[in-house]
Structure 1
């Protein structure tokens, strides 16, 4: 072969690194195009089976490794990655719902899931109905012949109500309905959704798994081959893909996941217990506390609580006063999400998100990060004074 031009040498190099390199971190494989050994390999590659690499969108060694590890942590068999937690939710809806079908969602569902359900109803002819998350086995009375999917969330990430997941799953399965669980709050380590009856478990890896508040990603995990095949089709048709660098960041966070989760949990309980004694607060909504709705189910099904909980302010405080309280915090950022090292605080109009919620004061949700709980308590105390 004649000598390559400088431009061609920029693209085609003869260099091959020596074999035998190994290290603890997973390698970062950037790829859109995947190279095949020959035409026969190109024609025989099957993206659904994950036994060969076909295109970067369908996976690289980096993303395959992350999927395998997430499935293992949750006790599942298959995992698919998505660009966000909401994308993971949408993947499930698109896999199992079509025009004329019905989906049931808990009334305290993650609000973007509610908005998506309403859009499915308005634009695609899929009925989306909302049920009391504490209904338990009573969900059977709401299941219709066209009900194909039951969404659950344990606990609700704003109202913190913990449902009786085994009862919901049994009632759904008795009628042939698939159960999807948003298990983001428990990070897959404080509650095992499959063991309680869920068919599909989704996570926003944006939270505890990545742990740095710098990644958007979701995961859909299953044990059943048939369900996974339908999800894979939806994954491909929606063109879901994640970048290798982001996948690596989640992989890097997994070894410290439980250590961080336990630290969030310990800090969260200290701050929540302190808030429970404050006259400005009428109720602390923390699943580990006995007076939180569904505490008995948390005690039965969970081994931890993480750092996310809510409080209800006394009704004598106006929304403007609770806003002033939040604005006065110095160690808490004002922002959505949780699971990162920095504490967060957000007000919610709970009555508009949860039908039948008692007429009470403003709800404020706290994410307790990895700061010293004593410093966070001092910050909350000064902000209460400013309110």
Structure 2
């Protein structure tokens, strides 16, 4: 019998890294007879990417009546309460105020309402939570989970005041990407990119990802000049890839590409998630502001450097897990020296065996909980649901509590 699990995340936003989580989860859980269905604040797919997942909406997660065996939360930087005011996908749909809480608080509510286990799939927590009442609610939400984990020590530290004890850390699950798409499959797609650009087969490329917020005071013209110099020195062709078109990566990639003086490739609107992965996996090196660009490079043993601007804790947490702190820089001016050093070093695995072992244990735990159901969770879920109702009543009054009955359908 096939089991069915939901996985909550921003799978309705055109951002490469987030779109990989349900694909990785589906691949790892399929051998256990578990189907994975993505859930997002809206049910709109990223239509231009044929291999992107098709989500259902948070409302369906909460009120659906079909068979369900569990709900996964994450990954991604989704465990916070900040409005998604900069994402047109959410402002246009009227869900920006609650989009992110809908994914993790919403998943915890849905688990209690639908009597299924809730499993944390190593999401990230970008900010601490204030307010004693909110921390108490979050504490009950964390304890309601059947398997709690976040992807880096910084995220764990932000949750521990609410949880009351250490929060387990599991590395970002996209580090296992090479099990989903083989290096041979992606190498063929990289060769297609060279052919489309009119470059000879075997041309060595440097994959680059630039996000507007990573530039700081550096202008596109100055960065283009730096790229020209480093790629000429290393005998590489720049391959600019827009990892998050929803964050204006594509426009900036075109701007920088237009200022380069030598041969280059500008992948400003990748045709698929696989093509984005291939641009990085088939390159000789990677430099960029995307965590999952760097994760993809690591998954395929491509030497990489990550530009951490702004300096979120997820970056330092990741390189710490890989034992590669020198791969992290704070701005573009520092990025190319460690790249040259990495390229000159002996080739070898970028991801330690211990990271793959931790991911294997995580997926085994997830599969076991979905198969067994974890009946011990029910008192914890009831406690969370009761606290949520009580805080809603105190904050919104009796009108909030009774309007669904008074105005609901007969």
TM range (shorter): under 0.3
- Which structure has the larger Rg over C-alpha atoms? 1
Higher helix share: 2
Higher fraction of strand: 1
TM-score normalised by structure 1 residue count? 0.27
TM-score, structure 2 normalization: 0.26
